[in-house]
Structure 1
Amino acid sequence: MSGRILTVAQQKGGSGKTTLAAHLAVALAGRSGEPVAILDVDPQGSLGTWFEAREENLGEAGTGLEFRTASGWGARREARSLARSHGYVVVDTAPKTDTDAKPAIDAADFVIVPVQPTPVDLWATSQTIDLAARESTPALLVLNRVPPRASLTGEMADAIAASGYDALNSRLGNRTVFASAMGKGLAVTEEAPSSKASLEVASLIDELVNRVG
């Protein structure tokens, strides 16, 4: 067995990277029926904090995920080791540091790049795209924290298309239920399965799986 390694990376902070990583892991586990692992290589440890809350809420046996941490070049080794026994490995990286992100990007089959729909965020994203290109890893942009009825979102979608970056059509809105679910160690698909946020995640996962296999 050799699973897919999906590294969530974004050099700019505040993109919702950890929230996206957690939701990808939960949704992939539910959709694929395969074991899924999450690997936290961000020194801030936000994904680990989320997983601890998940264990408290669901019990150690009920998380549906395996959790590991790694740092530096150990991230590449750990990700590849997990991929031998899991259908998917979702890796959360630190912002603003090539050194920590590079091994996780090198190990990945795909880099998932969350970007908020603002020009500044798109400009900053080029650093992450360039890093993925240097490691010969395909990158997929995901518009994240998208405000409702914002004309800028359409402009940003056009800007992404013009940039030549590969992006998923599915988007995740700027919804409070994401923060609420994360605080309990859950995903919105578990906290509010009939919500618009949950439907957005389901759409994203369908599109992502079709792309990455």
Structure 2
Amino acid sequence: MATIITLAQQKGGSGKTTLCANLAVELAARGHGVALLDSDPQGSLGRWFMTRYERTKGLQGDLTFSTSSAWGVSYEAGKYKDSHDFVLIDTPPKIDSDLRPALKVSDLVVVPVTASQVDLWATEGVLEMAARDGKRPLAVLNRARAGTNLTASVQAALSDLEADPAASIIANRVAYAEAMGTGQGVREYPGAKAAAAEIAALVDEILGRLDL
């Protein structure tokens, strides 16, 4: 039975799609069957996947990809429940009733939060909606700048929200954007060892949380 992980955040620019792609690549590299489901009309995850497909001429079949409307998420995710280990759902950057189907089917909701007070405020709506469905998300500090007071204060503030703050912090590194542009994850991208270590640590944390 596939484990379903939904990435959600009301505010655009949180790095949600980049995080989704990198989690998928890391999980696949560890031998897991991973399906990606893009319910965001912007289609950024799909563009990344097609760049990856074209780059490898379709020979690297480590990931499965499909799109879905917000209300078709449950049906689409169900297609992979017996054939894959994980389904990762990328959702639109908004908080309304369209997000609820993805939250309902999730075993884990991951909410990326950039190190800004505005993102912290935006996160509250997602967490409240998740709480209504009995979910306690994992809040991941993303695009953070190490050693700054702002990063430290946002990380501390996450503990006061309806979420569990991830111990793993994803730094603001150009390698993430560069790897996405080539259809890769940072694990595969030359010179991205620090970024790859961050993603690996986050995947370890996620698997531990899921008892997998």
- How many residues matched? 211
Q: Could you say what secondary structure the match of 1:191 adopts?
A: coil
CA distance in 2, matches of 1:27, 1:120: 29
Measured in 1, the distance between the counterparts of 2:159 and 2:23 equals 24
The answer as to whether partners of 2:175 and 2:192 remain within 8 angstroms in 1 is: no
- How far residue 164 of structure 1 moved from its aligned partner, in angstroms, is 5.0
Q: How do 1:49-198 and structure 2 match up within 5 A?
A: 49-163=47-161, 165-192=163-190, 195-198=193-196
Task: Please say if 1:199 is aligned against 2:197.
Answer: yes
Unaligned runs of 5+ in 1: none
Instruction: Answer whether contact 1:192 1:198 (CA < 8 A) is retained.
Output: no
What is the distance in 2 between the residues matched to 1:168 and 1:59? 36
Contact kept in structure 1, 2:6 and 2:102, CA below 8 Å: yes
How many angstroms does 1:131 deviate by?
A: 1.2
Higher mean displacement: 128-137 or 35-44: 128-137
Structure 2: stretches of 5+ with no match in the other structure: none
Deviates more, 1:105-114 or 1:163-172: 163-172
Percent of aligned pairs with the same amino acid: 45
Q: Tell me the distance in 1 between the aligned counterparts of 2:35 and 2:162.
A: 31
Whether the 8 Å CA contact 2:131–2:162 is kept in 1: the answer is no
Distance 2:98 2:82 in 1: 22
User: Structure 2 CA distance, aligned partners of 1:83 and 1:177?
Assistant: 32
What is the CA RMSD across the aligned residues, in angstroms? 1.4
Distance 2:144 2:161 in 1: 19
After the TM superposition, list the runs of 4 or more consecutive aligned residues in structure 1 that deviate by more than 6 angstroms: none
Structure that is richer in helix per residue: 1
Distance 1:192 1:205, change over 3 A: farther
* Structure 1 counterpart SS, 2:118: helix
Residue 2 of structure 2 corresponds to residue 8 of structure 1:
no
CA shift at 1:96, angstroms?
1.3
TM-score, structure 2 length as denominator?
0.95
Deviations 1:57-82 (A, max 9, x none): 12213041000111032111111221
TM-fit CA distance, 1:186 = 0.3
Q: Which residue of structure 2 lines up, in the alignment, with residue 39 of structure 1?
A: 37
Q: Deviations over 1:20-57 (max 9, x none)?
A: 100111111112x1211000000000000000000011
- 8 Å CA contact retained: 1:175, 1:197: yes
Amino acid aligned to 1:15 = S
1:73-108 deviation digits (Å, cap 9, x = unpaired): 211111122122110000000011423321111111
C-alpha distance in structure 2 between counterparts of 1:74 and 1:95, whole Å: 17
